[in-house]
A and B are shown apart, each in its own frame.
Chain A
């Protein structure tokens, strides 16, 4: 998609700066209405991704159907052959050919990435089918963890953020299932209900830090949507951890709060100063509002036993915090827009 002037153009049209008879032309001039070339690229990508997802899901559904007329070896053969075919397509497309145009190279690279994604998804199907056929007795978390470990090489060579997100999702999933199964075992180390939140916050927190540090070296990692998903995956359990520790007397309050405060300061330093990102600041505000309110709620309910004054105070507090956040975020947004214009 070319540089996007959608928001600015919306305002110009709305305020009457662009007369309504010129709207269509203005949308074309500002690239808001994509040109034919962009349409073709976009549709080519859309068809490729939809096709790959449909084919991988088709295999997944087929194996899950457990069709008795087809023997297990035929099913293993089918899935393995498809994985081999996907890897073969990647191998064919990964060869560098300097004679072809840049656009063609980009398309070929995309096909390679799509085939590795398909191979990674199909590997999960193969593992699940293996477990089902031979009744290995493995726990569900082991399936996801093994899947996650086995696709590491493909994830590394694909240089493709979406596959890393799939990898991280598998790691998260195996952690959740593992801790759901064994929460009793580690109960003496962590407070059991909070161990899951700790694990998710730590794993995704490390992933976020690693991603941000490596981003300068590997330009292909600079995908804001991926970084934002990881930040949400780290920030959400951290926020719940602090809220839980506020309301739960048996849980330690100090450690989660200290880490949370440190995280908030880090977010401010990084995404306000070093690498401006309003999304991160907005989510940090959301986390801040939730924590401050939980704390105020606990103190007020304890002090006033939940009479109407408590509710009124909390209402005013939410409006004050929400309003102040919005004012600040809009100010930062304006600053960032001005800075972007100057550069």
Chain B
């Protein structure tokens, strides 16, 4: 633990009096790329394990109750392995592989029962299995994976259920709100900090997939129903965009509240006004605000991984926007032109109105 950091915290009287442990013996959290290594080998081990189980139970692959029983047992077994605080790296890998293999067996069982004609129910089941796993499975990598898959699965189920994209737009706005709430409050629930961070990353990855790529926009990834680009009567796309704009203003407001010293009235008006103009302009270029919000949330807590993910989201957005079929390239070009000019002018206004000595925060 950094002694300078401990000293500055102690000087500011922010450390607990009752606790003498100043973090010297705290475990170092592994960086994200070490976690990717764990995820990769866990997935690889799970696929070999499936091969093993497959050859062991080859005659029972049509036996749905057995598959469900075996799958559930494997997942519960993995839960207890991961809950063990003394578990080492090898047990962690083993548990991940066991859990993934168990989930795959449950998926095979649901395909056995529902066949391929009912994708909405299969996706719903996938989501319903992944949701509790994201919350309760005591492992960071597992939680990221389950939160990601649950979000995508519910989106897919909704898409097949509605046969339109309007619901998806509203759904992704709600997911953005949950994501923002998680990242704004990650440090407020110390006991659940790691859980919140893991679910937060899973949700961000899912948002990039939904918003940054066009999987739900103009073609169907599974090519089952191509071109179902219609809007339902109840959910119009503008409702989702309006919701997203409101969420953006809420996030900017929260960031202003968190800042210290408190921003001046001028800075507050500038921040909220800027955010409003940007959200109104980007209604035509949906996906942009999602990327910008991920970047802002990342910066507000010095989270470089989140900032990086936000930048990736913005790059994905620009390339997928090109292929979006709802508007002509001319319309999109004009939208981007107005947006670009507004951003540059916005920057100029910000620097002019808030010189160095003025306190400000979050001005967009």
Q: Residues on A close to B: CB < 8 A?
A: 1-2, 4-20, 22-37, 39-40, 42-44, 46-48, 50-55, 57-59, 61-62, 64-65, 67, 103, 225, 278-279, 282-283, 285-286, 289, 293, 307-308, 310-312, 314-315, 318-327, 329-330, 333-334, 337, 341
Choice from B45, B54, B308, B336 contacting A54 with Cβ under 8 Å: B336
7 contacts between A and B (CB under 8 A): A8-B1, A10-B187, A14-B190, A25-B14, A27-B301, A40-B360, A62-B330
Let me know if B222 is at the binding interface, CB within 8 A: no
- Closest A residue by C-beta to B329: A65
Q: How far is the CA of A184 from the CA of B329 in the complex (A)?
A: 37
**Contact A40 B363, CB 8 Å, known A12-B9, A17-B21, A19-B16:** yes
Q: How far is the CA of A305 from the CA of B301 in the complex (A)?
A: 53
Asked whether, in the complex, the Cβ of B258 is within 8 Å of the Cβ of A33, the reply is yes
Q: How far is the CA of A286 from the CA of B347 in the complex (A)?
A: 43
Collect the chain A residues with CB atoms within 8 Å of residue B15's CB.
Answer: 17-18, 22
Asked whether, in the complex, the Cβ of A15 is within 8 Å of the Cβ of B5, the reply is no
**Contact A44 B351, CB 8 Å, known A17-B21, A24-B258, A31-B302:** yes
Collect the chain B residues with CB atoms within 8 Å of residue A24's CB.
Answer: 258, 260
Q: Which of B1-54 contact A (CB under 8 A)?
A: 1-3, 5, 8-9, 12, 14-16, 19, 21-23, 26-31, 33-34, 36-38, 40-42, 44-45, 48-49, 51-52, 54
Q: How far is the CA of A337 from the CA of B5 in the complex (A)?
A: 14
Instruction: Tell me the minimal C-beta distance from B101 to chain A in angstroms.
Output: 9
**Contact A7 B29, CB 8 Å, known A58-B336, A319-B93:** yes
Q: How far is the CA of A289 from the CA of B334 in the complex (A)?
A: 49
Number of contacts between A and B (CB, 8 Å)? 280
**Contact A318 B190, CB 8 Å, known A28-B260, A278-B34, A323-B90:** no
**Contact A285 B354, CB 8 Å, known A8-B23, A36-B360, A61-B322:** no
Let me know if B88 is at the binding interface, CB within 8 A: yes
**Contact A311 B260, CB 8 Å, known A16-B190, A34-B299, A322-B45:** no
**Contact A55 B337, CB 8 Å, known A15-B23, A39-B361, A333-B28:** yes
Instruction: Tell me the minimal C-beta distance from B30 to chain A in angstroms.
Output: 6
**Contact A26 B9, CB 8 Å, known A55-B340, A333-B34:** yes
- Closest B residue by C-beta to A55: B340
Asked whether, in the complex, the Cβ of B29 is within 8 Å of the Cβ of A33, the reply is no
- Closest B residue by C-beta to A19: B16
Q: How far is the CA of A7 from the CA of B350 in the complex (A)?
A: 32
Asked whether, in the complex, the Cβ of A318 is within 8 Å of the Cβ of B336, the reply is no
Choice from B26, B34, B197 contacting A15 with Cβ under 8 Å: B26
Collect the chain A residues with CB atoms within 8 Å of residue B16's CB.
Answer: 16-19
Asked whether, in the complex, the Cβ of A326 is within 8 Å of the Cβ of B318, the reply is no
Collect the chain B residues with CB atoms within 8 Å of residue A279's CB.
Answer: 31, 33
Choice from B12, B31, B41, B299 contacting A29 with Cβ under 8 Å: B12
Let me know if B292 is at the binding interface, CB within 8 A: yes
Collect the chain B residues with CB atoms within 8 Å of residue A54's CB.
Answer: 336-337, 339-340, 343
Let me know if B259 is at the binding interface, CB within 8 A: yes
Let me know if B73 is at the binding interface, CB within 8 A: no
Collect the chain B residues with CB atoms within 8 Å of residue A20's CB.
Answer: 188, 190
**Contact A42 B299, CB 8 Å, known A8-B1, A51-B344, A57-B318:** yes
Choice from A5, A27, A37, A315 contacting B187 with Cβ under 8 Å: A27
**Contact A43 B9, CB 8 Å, known A315-B52, A326-B37:** no
Q: How far is the CA of A3 from the CA of B295 in the complex (A)?
A: 18
- 9 A-B pairs with the lowest CB-CB distances in the bound complex, closest first: A322-B41, A54-B340, A51-B343, A55-B340, A323-B90, A311-B52, A58-B336, A65-B329, A47-B347
Asked whether, in the complex, the Cβ of B37 is within 8 Å of the Cβ of A52, the reply is no
A11-B27, A17-B23, A330-B30 known, 14 other contacts, Cβ within 8 Å: A4-B304, A5-B2, A10-B29, A17-B15, A28-B260, A47-B343, A48-B343, A53-B318, A58-B334, A311-B54, A319-B45, A319-B93, A322-B40, A326-B38
Asked whether, in the complex, the Cβ of A318 is within 8 Å of the Cβ of B44, the reply is yes
**Contact A323 B1, CB 8 Å, known A19-B16, A28-B260, A33-B301:** no
Let me know if B94 is at the binding interface, CB within 8 A: yes
Collect the chain A residues with CB atoms within 8 Å of residue B48's CB.
Answer: 311-312, 314-315, 318
Asked whether, in the complex, the Cβ of B299 is within 8 Å of the Cβ of A319, the reply is no
Q: How far is the CA of A319 from the CA of B93 in the complex (A)?
A: 6
Q: How far is the CA of A329 from the CA of B35 in the complex (A)?
A: 11
Asked whether, in the complex, the Cβ of A58 is within 8 Å of the Cβ of B360, the reply is no
Q: Which of B175-212 contact A (CB under 8 A)?
A: 187-188, 190-191, 193-194, 197
